[in-house]
Structure 1
Amino acid sequence: MSENMEKDYKQIERQTAADYEYSTLMQLLEVSVSKHLLDEHFTLIWANDFYYQMIGWPKEEYEKVFHNRPDLYYETDREEWDRITGVVMETLRRGEKGYKLATRMRRKSGEHIWVQFSVRFADEYVDGYQVGYTVITNIDDMIQMQKEQSVTYDNLPGFVAKYRIDQELNMILLESNSRFAEYFGSEAERGENSVYQRNIRDNKEAIWGQRENILAGKPLHFTMYVKNREGQKLWLQVNAACVGWQKGCPVYLVIFIDVTDITELREMQKKLTEQTVALQNALEEAEKANMAKSDFLSRMSHDIRTPMNAILGMTTIAGSHIHDPERIRDCLGKITVSSKLLLSLINEVLDMSKIESGRIVLAEEEVNLAELVHGVVTMVQPQIHSKDLIFKTYVNNLTHEIVVSDMQRLQQLVLNLLSNAVKYTPPRGSVYMEIRETPSDKKNMAFYEFVVSDTGIGMKPEFLYRIFEPFERADDEKIQSIQGTGLGLSICKSIAELMGGTIHVESTYGKGSRFAVSVCLQIQEEQTDERVLEGLPVLIVDDDEFICRNTCECLAEFGLKTDWALKGGEALEKIEQAGKSGEDYFAVIIDYKMPDMDGIETTRKIRRQAGRQLPIIMISAYDLSEQMDEAKEAGANGFITKPLFCSRLIYKLKQFADGNCQEADSGPVIRGSYKGKNVLLAEDNELNREIVAEILTDAGAFVDTAENGRAAVEKVRQSEEGFYDLIFMDMQMPVMDGCTAAVKIRGLPRQDVGAMPIIAMTANAFADDRQKTREAGMNGHLAKPLDMEQLQLVLEKWLS
């Protein structure tokens, strides 16, 4: 394959992966997205499934009746259509990139619902017309709530208004009932000389007399003397309660009772007391619910974009270093970690009800703590770098690195703690993470403590009592601009308790916080070959004495001779002395970031002094991707990110003991050969079919494909008995779904279908979906996106 062809192939492969992840994300978030031409019909050229669910028309029927022309769809609602087209034309005239519009839309059933169009004009043209992308959101419930609120307002006795009041006691009117507008003017009549403003000026003394209570958000009770639009004089009793805050200013709900005729006062006061409390409670609950929902979606959008940005950025970097295998491996590793985090975030959204109610069921799987922590640290490295934080990690008395636990939940717990520390620590601050193992009274169990501390903004004592409650965030101006869902620590507490552990927090406002989580995990005994490295001398160079001592103790358990130095100059002296005595070091482990002489300069001088034969491993708590080229040029042979787990160090040292100082080239996606095996792949998505077929073909198997369940049944029916060794069946397909197809295959009148392995593949990875596949007679279940290790296990089980 030529170099250009190889580049084109890899570009297509990356684009295919990106398109697949985008399609999966759209499906999981259930958002209506469509693409239109900006022609006279606003012709629809593409829409996802949720667009057709929103309008209630099946795709084929919609195309047949309306020919993808929204103007025909709105034929019976011309007023709404004219309003929409007017907004579009005005937006284009002003040269703006898009618009938002709330409007009524008719569904197939004939009912109207309120929706919001969020439209963005793209720098893209099709057939000479500019393209617009539209997201449609159902806001019918919100509009209905506003109507109900309006009815409530209009049925209250007296005049009802809602104000925001600033430090100078300027009263900004936010809402009012119709009775208030009739007496004191409409929105257009509220200028400087309006009846509304004159009444405020005439009662300035009475209002300023309440200034202290107003700015403190306390309830208000006083009387005012006002005039209405006809000049009629009224005495009004003011009853106001603070129902919220905007921009640091109190928001008051005010009911004015006409007490000019005192005989009506008592009855009105009775109704007022009951209805004011009920209204205030209802408004507070509605506003809190709306605010919590909006804040949560905003924060979750930010959290989803973070790994997406990492994926896109690492893809770009890999493309620009296409001939550097080590840099590409580094990028692919980070893309994998980010993709898994993105998937876990999506799962968190879908699993939110279980998290809030505590109905989380933990999985039991083998977890490599070194890989888990390395993945978490990799994810927070960009934020650490951007804020120039001092980041140190420690592994203390960690005897067992392989445990049995829920990989996703444990990673979620550690990531939430570490990302919180990074998030709330100002630039050039410090973040520390320590991992410690302590024995448990239970057999084959141990406690693992994850301690994360920082020099961040800290928390006030009164907030520490609420810190683990869902959606709780400190009322502090310092954190208003910091994104967060308010769920992270609540989730940490739930996970820790489910794992038989605890979580504790210590914090001093203005100085920082310390979180300590201890969880009880089942340990796995690890098989290691100590003889390969026994007796070999290794030098550790790090300005942190704790890391030097701890690493030496760790390596000594594997029979290595260890020595350490706190500075680069000291390391050079020790290497020179070892050479003179004829006891050269087998390898040197050097920290990248050290005072006086950093790791790269130390490496460069070691090479000049000791030559190219001595293996040098560069370690760092920071992302070394940007310094990797310089470090390799200086003479570094390998790289490890802190915290320093024994398994990672031993694995790297064994490579050097075997005479391999370079990273191994990547092997095939699937290990082993399945030549002579015939596989049927039933998948309706063309790109998914291509990806899976390519992977299986590379493993030597013959792959036959079917675009739906019915085609798969026919393929089996027409094949010779015993031809297919394995079937992969997508669950959701047109014409016939995967479960129905599996049942029909099992029912074919032939001998081989009873024992023929059928494995489900689906983006729906929940327990009830697994149950459906079992009931349909399938032998296993693979969740999308496909995990190559799980695919490997399936092939080994059924084709070996």
Structure 2
Amino acid sequence: MSFVSVTLVIILIIFYLMMKARKAQIQAEKANAAKSDFLFNMSHDIRTPMNALLGYSELMKRELTDPKLLDYQEKMEQSGNLLLSIINNVLDMAKIESGKMELDENYVQIRDIYHGVYKIFQAEAEKKGIHLEMEYEVQHEHVICDETKNREIFLNLISNAVKYTASGGAVTIRITELDCDRKDYVRIQTQLIDTGIGMSEEFLPSLFEAFARERNTTAAKVAGTGLGMPIIKKYVDMMGGTIKAESKLGEGSKFTVIMEYRIADKGYYEQVTDLSPDTEETDWISGKHVLLAEDNELNAEIAEFILEDMGLIVDRVEDGIQCVARMEQKPAGTYDLILMDIQMPNMDGYKATQTIRKLADEKKACIPIIAMTANAFEEDRKKALAKGMNGHIAKPVDAEKLKKTILSALR
């Protein structure tokens, strides 16, 4: 065989391998796209009924006076929140593995993250007879970071500490600022120390592996997926931090997280301070008119109750077409705000928002629009803002978060 023939054969083989690799890449991309679509739909389909379950549970609590029924309601609510947490963990892990998880960094006062999480577990710890203590020594509090993921890290760690510590035990949260070599960065160490059931030395190396649990739900009498720790580790790695676990069976555990955050310029928090709601925020939004675009009857009923409880006046439409038509028909100033579902029949929330933004009447076109939707991923929030919305609230709806988002949009 001549040199030319050999060269031609080699070229054909290389071309064949390249085509095969490209075909495999296309198949992988299609599989990832299908997985993302599945996660998107799964998240929406689960969150919609969960919003109804938790919403009606909250409404029922306001009407109950019988201590026994209140106890039942509280246990229903706890179970619902646990189920939502498990669902979130499964979806988050799937998103991480598919490479779709991204950082969303913005200004935050780091103290707010810790104090917010601490307050969540304060009542639970007190009820269990656990001494929950927080020690806080941080000079540079104003930072740029992914608030949601940082909050998730410490929520999981403190939740586990309280969950696995028996009555009479103690959980200590110790936050300390360390020396940092990077210019304009702050280095913060967070330690979670508990006197709980602890873990064996044999299990510690597999602690951050997906679905790994030293005790199953039956043996430990604590529900979970075994995904909390792997998700924490992924988040810490994404943000360039470190996490270390120390534990002894029967003696408790100690987790040490070290993160570096960029220090925020004064412009960030001076501006935020100016925009923060005042003490009369409830009076400030009372009487404002809201147009609610929501096709689901149950979710609409819950939303109307929450909004009317804030003192807002609510009109409801069932899809994007009706929403746009209402804005076209009513005089400018009729509504102060639109709360927009995303997945609706006839016209979705994105299209409705874009249509409203193009209305000839500038006052109508500039009305604040907030997405209130079961599309709860970070990319959903970014997409809502990119489509012209002023905010994003995920279902199940947190009334306090909704209130703050409404205040921010109206101001």
- TM-score, normalized by the shorter chain, greater than 0.5: yes
Aligned partners of 2:246, 2:98: CA distance in 1, in Å?
A: 26
Shift of the 723–409 alpha-carbon distance from structure 1 to 2, 3 Å rule, reads closer
- Structure 1 residue ranges without an equivalent (≥5): 1-24, 33-47, 49-303, 321-336, 528-664
Q: Which residue is 1:372 aligned to?
A: 113
SS of equivalent residue, structure 2 residue 150: helix
Q: Which residue is 1:710 aligned to?
A: 321
Q: Among residues 30, 46, 70, which one is paired with 1:28 in the alignment? A: 46
Listed as ranges, the matches of 1:384-395 within 5 Å are 384-395=125-136
Shift of the 781–511 alpha-carbon distance from structure 1 to 2, 3 Å rule, reads closer
Q: Which residue is 1:793 aligned to?
A: 408
Letter in 2 for 1:363: D
Asked if the contact 1:398–1:437 (Cα under 8 Å) also holds between the matched residues in 2, the reply is: yes
Q: Does 1:512 align with 2:122?
A: no
How far apart are 1:772 and its partner, in Å?
A: 5.9
Asked if the contact 2:293–2:340 (Cα under 8 Å) also holds between the matched residues in 1, the reply is: yes
SS of equivalent residue, structure 2 residue 369: strand
Asked if the contact 2:370–2:390 (Cα under 8 Å) also holds between the matched residues in 1, the reply is: yes
Letter in 2 for 1:690: E
Asked if the contact 2:122–2:132 (Cα under 8 Å) also holds between the matched residues in 1, the reply is: no
In our comparison, the structure showing a higher alpha carbon Rg is: 1
- Structure 2 residue ranges without an equivalent (≥5): 1-42, 67-77, 268-277
Letter in 2 for 1:482: V
Q: Which residue is 2:343 aligned to?
A: 732
Aligned partners of 2:265, 2:221: CA distance in 1, in Å?
A: 46
Write out per-residue CA displacement over residues 40-78 of structure 1, whole angstroms, 9 at most, x where no aligned residue.
xxxxxxxx9xxxxxxxxxxxxxxxxxxxxxxxxxxxxxx
Listed as ranges, the matches of 1:294-443 within 5 Å are 347-356=88-97, 359-395=100-136, 397-443=137-183
How far apart are 1:768 and its partner, in Å?
A: 5.2
Shift of the 460–770 alpha-carbon distance from structure 1 to 2, 3 Å rule, reads closer
How far apart are 1:423 and its partner, in Å?
A: 2.8
Aligned partners of 1:723, 1:29: CA distance in 2, in Å?
A: 31
Aligned partners of 2:82, 2:361: CA distance in 1, in Å?
A: 45
Aligned CA RMSD, in angstroms, stands at 4.7
How far apart are 1:342 and its partner, in Å?
A: 8.3
Letter in 2 for 1:460: S
Shift of the 735–448 alpha-carbon distance from structure 1 to 2, 3 Å rule, reads same
How far apart are 1:497 and its partner, in Å?
A: 1.7
Shift of the 793–501 alpha-carbon distance from structure 1 to 2, 3 Å rule, reads same
Asked if the contact 1:439–1:445 (Cα under 8 Å) also holds between the matched residues in 2, the reply is: no
Structure 1 length as normaliser, TM-score? 0.36
How far apart are 1:518 and its partner, in Å?
A: 0.9
How far apart are 1:517 and its partner, in Å?
A: 0.9
Q: Does 1:669 align with 2:282?
A: yes
Asked if the contact 1:683–1:689 (Cα under 8 Å) also holds between the matched residues in 2, the reply is: no
How far apart are 1:473 and its partner, in Å?
A: 1.7
Shift of the 735–380 alpha-carbon distance from structure 1 to 2, 3 Å rule, reads same
Structure 2 length as normaliser, TM-score? 0.64
Asked if the contact 1:370–1:401 (Cα under 8 Å) also holds between the matched residues in 2, the reply is: yes
How far apart are 1:514 and its partner, in Å?
A: 1.6
Q: Which residue is 2:392 aligned to?
A: 782
Listed as ranges, the matches of 1:422-501 within 5 Å are 422-474=162-214, 480-501=220-241
How far apart are 1:381 and its partner, in Å?
A: 3.7
Which structure has more RCO (C-alpha within 8 Å, separation ≥ 6)?
A: 2
How far apart are 1:503 and its partner, in Å?
A: 0.8
How far apart are 1:477 and its partner, in Å?
A: 11
Shift of the 358–452 alpha-carbon distance from structure 1 to 2, 3 Å rule, reads farther
SS of equivalent residue, structure 2 residue 119: helix
Q: Which residue is 1:761 aligned to?
A: 371
Aligned partners of 1:407, 1:339: CA distance in 2, in Å?
A: 24
Report the structure, 1 or 2, having the larger helix content. Answer: 2
Aligned partners of 2:218, 2:328: CA distance in 1, in Å?
A: 68
SS of equivalent residue, structure 1 residue 669: helix
State how many pairs are aligned.
339
Shift of the 376–725 alpha-carbon distance from structure 1 to 2, 3 Å rule, reads closer
Listed as ranges, the matches of 1:450-599 within 5 Å are 450-474=190-214, 480-524=220-264
Q: Which residue is 1:690 aligned to?
A: 304
Asked if the contact 2:290–2:338 (Cα under 8 Å) also holds between the matched residues in 1, the reply is: yes
Asked if the contact 1:759–1:779 (Cα under 8 Å) also holds between the matched residues in 2, the reply is: yes
Write out per-residue CA displacement over residues 86-144 of structure 1, whole angstroms, 9 at most, x where no aligned residue.
xxxxxxxxxxxxxxxxxxxxxxxxxxxxxxxxxxxxxxxxxxxxxxxxxxxxxxxxxxx
Asked if the contact 2:199–2:247 (Cα under 8 Å) also holds between the matched residues in 1, the reply is: yes
Query: Kindly, what percent of the aligned residue pairs are identical?
Result: 36
Shift of the 496–743 alpha-carbon distance from structure 1 to 2, 3 Å rule, reads closer
Aligned partners of 1:757, 1:441: CA distance in 2, in Å?
A: 47
Letter in 2 for 1:759: I
Aligned partners of 1:770, 1:393: CA distance in 2, in Å?
A: 32
Asked if the contact 1:759–1:781 (Cα under 8 Å) also holds between the matched residues in 2, the reply is: yes
